[in-house]
Amino acid sequence: MISPILCRSPRVTIVGAGRVGSTLAQRIAEKNLADVVLLDIVEGMPQGLALDLMEARGIELHHRQIIGTNDYADTSDSEIVVITAGIPRKPGMSRDDLLKINAKIVVEAAKSAIAHSPNAIFIVVTNPLDVMTYLAWEATGLPRHRVMGMAGVLDSARFETFIALELGVLPADVKAMVLGSHGDLMVPLSRYATVNGIPITELLDSATIARLVERTRNGGAEIVELMRTGGAFFAPASAASVMVESILLNQSRLLPVATYLQGEYGLDDVVIGVPCRLGCGGIEKVLELHLTDGEGEALQMSAQSVRNNINRAQEILNG
What pLDDT shows up at residue 148?
98
What pLDDT shows up at residue 93?
64
What pLDDT shows up at residue 7?
73
In the chain, which residues have pLDDT < 50?
none
Percent of the chain with pLDDT over 70: 96
What pLDDT shows up at residue 1?
57
What pLDDT shows up at residue 134?
98
Beta strands in 194-267 (DSSP E): 194-195, 198-199, 253-262
What pLDDT shows up at residue 94?
65
Q: What distance in Å separates the CA atoms of residue 151 and residue 189, rounded to the nearest whole number?
A: 15
Q: 62, 63, 145, 182: which one is catalytic?
A: 182
Interacting residues of 83 by C-beta distance below 8 A, sequence separation 6+:
15, 16, 106, 109, 110, 113, 122, 123, 124, 125, 126, 132, 136
* Catalytic annotation present for 182: yes
- Return the axis-axis angle of helices 234-248 and 19-30, rounded to nearest 10°: 40
What pLDDT shows up at residue 138?
97
Q: What distance in Å separates the CA atoms of residue 288 and residue 265, rounded to the nearest whole number?
A: 7
Largest CA distance in the chain: 73
